[in-house]
A and B are shown apart, each in its own frame.
Chain A
Amino acid sequence: DAGVIQSPRHEVTEMGQEVTLRCKPISGHNSLFWYRQTMMRGLELLIYFNNNVPIDDSGMPEDRFSAKMPNASFSTLKIQPSEPRDSAVYFCASSLSAPGGELFFGEGSRLTVL
């Protein structure tokens, strides 16, 4: 079974450029999450969707960040314009909306903004 698939795995870009990260959740999962991980702050939830609808975006740092989920099998996280402090590993995860809430993570997208 395919797990959560993220792309790109690595992205190096210059400050001011637009960055788009992509995620395909596990088929049949109805919740999708975007997390950011840094050494200083650990895993932070940016936004999560349930049945393609954004439920909680309180973790999105600022207007430069946006996320969409146009259908059940695809989501994007966009940063425009990017800044060096956005450098981090961005994880996408999915789950079945059921008691407990076990998340299945993708391999992550490592973003470096120069």
Chain B
Amino acid sequence: EDKVVQSPLSLVVHEGDTVTLNCSYEVTNFRSLLWYKQEKKAPTFLFMLTSSGIEKKSGRLSSILDKKELFSILNITATQTGDSAVYLCAVVKLNTDKLIFGTGTRLQVFP
């Protein structure tokens, strides 16, 4: 059965800290991995990763994929209170548009 597992389940840090969120997957016919940020409402798109070893970066956020070891990490440097959210990882399989989501990591950043 396809599986996407995120860790840690929750994380509490202070502003300025750096965090690393993990996503591992067991999925047949992998196509891509996506990261989403969910605050109070709908998930919003952060990154899409399809190739191993190529870092995607957006401001203080970056992400990388390892297709051999079947995992991805999302890094956030110099965290701010506005980074507080649930971060979701999802995998897309070949020949489908279906996203399989992990249960998410809840990040809380305190001032």
| A interface residues with partner B (beta carbon < 8 Å) | 31, 33, 35, 41-45, 48, 50, 55-56, 91, 95, 97, 99-108
B101: chain A residues at CB < 8 Å are: 35, 42-45
Give the distance in Å from the alpha carbon of A31 to the alpha carbon of B98 in the complex. Answer: 9
Interface segment, one of B16-24, B43-51, B53-61, B62-70: B43-51
B88: chain A residues at CB < 8 Å are: 42-43
Q: Lowest 9 CB-CB distances: which A-B pairs, in order?
A: A105-B42, A42-B103, A43-B101, A101-B92, A31-B97, A100-B48, A107-B41, A100-B32, A101-B97
Quick one: given A42-B104, A43-B88, are A101 and B99 in contact (CB under 8 Å)?
A: yes
Would B48 and A106 count as touching, CB distance under 8 A?
Answer: no
Give the distance in Å from the alpha carbon of A33 to the alpha carbon of B101 in the complex. Answer: 13
Would B99 and A42 count as touching, CB distance under 8 A?
Answer: no
- Smallest Cβ distance from A64 to chain B, in angstroms? 22
Would B42 and A108 count as touching, CB distance under 8 A?
Answer: yes
Q: Is the CB of B76 closer than 8 A to any CB of chain A?
A: no
Q: Is the CB of B29 closer than 8 A to any CB of chain A?
A: no
- Smallest Cβ distance from B108 to chain A, in angstroms? 16
What are 29 A-B contacts defined by CB distance under 8 Å?
A33-B97, A33-B99, A35-B101, A41-B103, A42-B88, A42-B102, A42-B103, A43-B43, A43-B88, A43-B90, A43-B101, A45-B99, A45-B100, A45-B101, A50-B97, A55-B96, A99-B31, A99-B50, A100-B50, A100-B92, A101-B31, A101-B34, A101-B48, A101-B98, A102-B45, A103-B45, A103-B99, A105-B42, A107-B41
B92: chain A residues at CB < 8 Å are: 100-101
- Smallest Cβ distance from A41 to chain B, in angstroms? 8
Give the distance in Å from the alpha carbon of A48 to the alpha carbon of B103 in the complex. Answer: 20
A100: chain B residues at CB < 8 Å are: 31-32, 34, 48, 50, 92
